[in-house]
Amino acid sequence: MPSASGASHSFADKSCINRLQKEYRALLRDPVPDIIAHPCEKSILEWHYVLKGSPESPYEGGVYHGKVVFPSEYPYKPPAIYVLTPNGRFATSTRLCLSMSDFHPETWNPMWSVASILNGLRSFMYEEAPTAGSITASTAERRRLAAKSLRHNVANATFR
């Protein structure tokens, strides 16, 4: 886990760092089903996650990499959320407009945790509601992208 004393945290306030470290320990003890997440070594403000596509869904067999970028004022301000793997639901490398993202600070609740953010992202993945950053693709296209997802991720140095 990135240390609280590292230079990479110089722009985050201590309460933000402490909260993210606490949430990381909680995720290690009680992981979110089908999602692995951890902070980057260089900055606790940037987390990477991998979401496994649910069986019997268009995403079955898919492995979706993304990142959550926390502001230094977290938990009082919401994070930016990105999906980096082509998936047919969200545009890649684009900030997602979700109720728990920085697109909607007015709906943000400081009691939400990294786990609740990841659970929310997973729920949005399986919905069809249009939002900024969402795209439309057929079930067949989503299945095709799921089949290619791991190969795509392995080619990305950040994923490895």
For the annotated catalytic residues, the residue numbers are 97
Cross-strand partners of 38: 48
pLDDT at 7: 41
pLDDT at 157: 83
- The 8-class DSSP code of residue 12 comes to S
Half-sphere exposure of 44 (CA within 13 A, CB side): 28
Contacts of 150 (CB under 8 A, 6+ apart): 63
How many Å apart are CA 114 and CA 156, to the nearest integer? 24
Output the average pLDDT for the chain: 91
Antiparallel, parallel or unpaired: β 63-69 and 80-83: antiparallel
pLDDT at 4: 40
The pLDDT confidence band at residue 6, using thresholds 50, 70 and 90, is very low
pTM for this predicted structure: 0.89
Peptide bond into 75 cis (omega under 30): yes
Give the chain's domains with CATH numbers.
7-154 (3.10.110.10)
The pLDDT confidence band at residue 11, using thresholds 50, 70 and 90, is low
Q: H-helix or E-strand containing 47?
A: strand 46-52
DSSP 64-117: EEEEEE--TTTTSSPPEEEE-S--SSB-TTS----TTSTT-GGG--TT--HHHH
* pLDDT tens digit sequence for 99-131: 899 999 999 999 999 999 999 999 999 999 888
How many Å apart are CA 13 and CA 102, to the nearest integer? 18
- The 8-class DSSP code of residue 55 comes to T
